[in-house]
A and B are shown apart, each in its own frame.
Chain A
Amino acid sequence: MIHLVTDSTSDISPSDAESLGVHVVPLIVRFGDEQYRDGVDIDADQFYAKLARTDVHPTTSQPSPDVFSTLYKTLLSDPRDQVVGLHISTKLSGTLQSAMLAAKDFDPGRIHLVDTESVSGGLQLLVRAALEDIQAGDTAAAVAEKATRRRSKVTILVLLDTLTYLHRGGRIGRAQAFVGSLLNVKPLIAVRDGEVVPLARPRSRSKGIEMMVEQVRACAPLRGLAEFHAAAAESMADLEGRLGAAVSNVTAVLGRIGPVVGAYSGPGGLGVACLGAD
């Protein structure tokens, strides 16, 4: 049997993970000395509520190799079983490195790890596509290889309220160019080749959502679509409505930007990810 492992930056809800049979390894989010396992000890609602109440800037860290080791031991107790691990971009997190350290203690060929160069909805779409490959009977190596090839077909766009969180968290990349604007802008960023790049500086959310819809439309034909928000339900409804009218051949995965990713998007973030057809 092939077990699919991902991490909590895929923003897969616990109920979806269970019904899909995906194993989700939590990253850690911290407020000062308090630490929480993403999606286990703290959920999106609790995280944004806490963020609104505190002046402490949240930080995050990758899961330790031990966590991966323990999971791999359980999953690989049957010598015929294998693991495919799809994880957050190595340019954004050291999660994959922890997984690789843990994998060293197992026979090569039993654990196939992929740097998806992706995060959040984008990572989740790759996970869902890989599950379909497993169901279709692909080998673990083939599943990993297809996921690696597919990552270039993922587009991730995030409309932010502020760049503060990305900046303070040290993940701003080339979107640094957008920092310091005296005018009120809603930065639109993308995750491309695994890192954050600036796309546009719309003056309003509505204009920003329009730009997102245009970009998604340009990715057609689509295999998957995911829409995510960080305490921005109203904008999410707007995005859903406009994307629903623009893209009709796929059913969108809807969800929340979870605590770890939310520590970088900040509240108000609105994301869309799409996966082009193979």
Chain B
Amino acid sequence: MVGDPELVRVHIHTGDPAGVIAAASSRGRMSKLKVDDMSAQHHDVLERADAREAETEAAGTATQERPQAPPKPIGVTCVAPGDGFREIMGSLGADSIVSGGQTMNPSIEDLLNGVRAVNAERVILLPNNGNVILTAEQVNPLAEGCEVRVVPTRNLPQGISALLAFDPSASLDENCERMLAAIATVRSVEVTHAVRDTSVNGHDIKLGDVIAVVDDEITEVGSDYLAVIDAVLRAQTAKPELVTVYRGQEVSADDAEALIGSLQTSHPDIEFELQAGGQEHYPYVLSLE
């Protein structure tokens, strides 16, 4: 602060500039006023430091090992096939994601590495496939210093619902309870093609037929995606409010949008959401909520 009895120049650091200005204006007339956001400057500095660190690492010149951050209390590892599902699960807060799914089940070691990558004292493991649950259950005894709990999600829609219910501030027990409750409210529909002639649940299935697997059971068989998915939706006794459609690797965005357009016309009460799942073998995976 500098000045004389008539005029002062004051430099103030504050978290509340508006309050300072209000207080100053109550004491006299302000002739010059300049406000700078120091927190923005601070962030710039931190960002530049991060960028430098990233460059150093990329150049391979980092000689000192960075101390590992202290483990967080609780984290989540997910198993997911396809870039789309991996990105979605990451955006919902999964700490690590292990590649895998139908016909490419991850090993115990893959899962263990996924759990270790979380760096947490307790990790919830979401297998997201009926065939991965048993493997997942063998991880806990091997994960030294980390308690691993498996919430037995049998498919990707269940995995997403479980992840949405995750609360990092809640305990392991509470989280498992929340996740189990969440997966009970979602129905999974996996649409694929028959790989051979067969007969299941009274359906005669020919090689190449479109089949819908609803929560582990083949319920509809047909010749095209639209008819089969439409039949699945009509067969629901509890009408879903929201259907999320995850298109697989082999389905274009245009085709998927056209399919949803038709479904929306015949099911005006349902909200449809399209996501790129990127999964193999299943052109469409749907979650019904």
Give residues in A with beta carbon < 8 Å to B. 28, 61-62, 64-66, 94, 97-98, 101, 174, 177, 180-185, 197-198, 200-201, 203-204, 206-207
A203-B275 CB under 8 A given contacts A65-B26, A97-B19: no
Rounded to whole angstroms, the CA-CA distance of A164 and B23 in the bound complex is 31
Interface residues of B in 183-202 (CB under 8 A from A): none
Chain B 216-246, CB-CB to A under 8 Å as 1, else 0, gives 0000000000000000000000000110100
Interface residues of B in 250-281 (CB under 8 A from A): 271, 273, 275
User: Is there an interface contact between B168 and A203, defined as CB atoms closer than 8 Å?
Assistant: no
Contact partner of A65 (CB less than 8 A), chosen from B22, B168, B169, B273, is B22
Closest A residue to B178 by beta carbon equals A200
Rounded to whole angstroms, the CA-CA distance of A65 and B22 in the bound complex is 7
A-B pairs with the 10 shortest C-beta distances? A64-B22, A61-B18, A182-B91, A201-B164, A182-B88, A94-B16, A204-B242, A180-B91, A66-B26, A204-B241
Closest B residue to A202 by beta carbon equals B164
A101-B23 CB under 8 A given contacts A182-B275, A183-B275, A207-B289: yes
B73 within 8 A of A: no
Contact partner of B92 (CB less than 8 A), chosen from A94, A97, A181, A204, is A181
User: Is there an interface contact between B19 and A98, defined as CB atoms closer than 8 Å?
Assistant: yes
Contact partner of A185 (CB less than 8 A), chosen from B22, B23, B164, is B164
Residues from chain B with Cβ under 8 Å of A98 in the complex: 19, 22
Closest B residue to A94 by beta carbon equals B16
Closest B residue to A30 by beta carbon equals B18
A197, chain B: closest CB distance, angstroms? 8
A177-B19 CB under 8 A given contacts A182-B275, A184-B273, A198-B167: no
User: Is there an interface contact between A203 and B19, defined as CB atoms closer than 8 Å?
Assistant: no
Residues from chain A with Cβ under 8 Å of B87 in the complex: 182
B82 within 8 A of A: no
30 contacts between A and B (CB under 8 A): A62-B16, A62-B18, A62-B19, A64-B22, A64-B23, A65-B19, A65-B22, A65-B23, A97-B16, A98-B22, A174-B169, A177-B93, A181-B91, A182-B91, A182-B275, A183-B91, A183-B164, A183-B244, A183-B273, A184-B273, A185-B164, A197-B169, A198-B167, A200-B165, A201-B92, A201-B164, A201-B165, A203-B244, A203-B289, A207-B289
Residues from chain B with Cβ under 8 Å of A174 in the complex: 169
Rounded to whole angstroms, the CA-CA distance of A120 and B244 in the bound complex is 34
A186, chain B: closest CB distance, angstroms? 11
Chain B 1-33, CB-CB to A under 8 Å as 1, else 0, gives 000000000000000101100110110000000
Residues from chain A with Cβ under 8 Å of B150 in the complex: none
B176 within 8 A of A: no
Interface size on B, residues (CB 8 A): 25
Chain B 87-112, CB-CB to A under 8 Å as 1, else 0, gives 11001110000000000000000000
User: Is there an interface contact between A203 and B22, defined as CB atoms closer than 8 Å?
Assistant: no
Rounded to whole angstroms, the CA-CA distance of A274 and B107 in the bound complex is 50
Rounded to whole angstroms, the CA-CA distance of A62 and B241 in the bound complex is 42
B156 within 8 A of A: no
Residues from chain B with Cβ under 8 Å of A182 in the complex: 87-88, 91-92, 275
- Scoring B91, B92, B271 by chain A CB atoms within 10 A of each residue's CB, the highest score goes to B92
B74 within 8 A of A: no
Closest B residue to A97 by beta carbon equals B19
Residues from chain A with Cβ under 8 Å of B164 in the complex: 183, 185, 200-201, 203
Rounded to whole angstroms, the CA-CA distance of A184 and B275 in the bound complex is 10
Closest B residue to A178 by beta carbon equals B93
A22, chain B: closest CB distance, angstroms? 23
B160 within 8 A of A: yes
Residues from chain B with Cβ under 8 Å of A62 in the complex: 16, 18-19
Residues from chain B with Cβ under 8 Å of A203 in the complex: 164, 242, 244, 289
B289, chain A: closest CB distance, angstroms? 6
Closest B residue to A182 by beta carbon equals B91
A207, chain B: closest CB distance, angstroms? 7
Rounded to whole angstroms, the CA-CA distance of A174 and B168 in the bound complex is 10
B239, chain A: closest CB distance, angstroms? 12
A183-B160 CB under 8 A given contacts A198-B167, A206-B241: yes
Residues from chain A with Cβ under 8 Å of B241 in the complex: 204, 206-207
Residues from chain B with Cβ under 8 Å of A97 in the complex: 16, 19
A64, chain B: closest CB distance, angstroms? 3
Known: A182-B92, A197-B169. 7 other contacts (CB 8 A): A61-B18, A64-B19, A64-B22, A64-B25, A183-B91, A183-B273, A203-B242
User: Is there an interface contact between B165 and A183, defined as CB atoms closer than 8 Å?
Assistant: no
User: Is there an interface contact between A183 and B168, defined as CB atoms closer than 8 Å?
Assistant: no
A9, chain B: closest CB distance, angstroms? 15
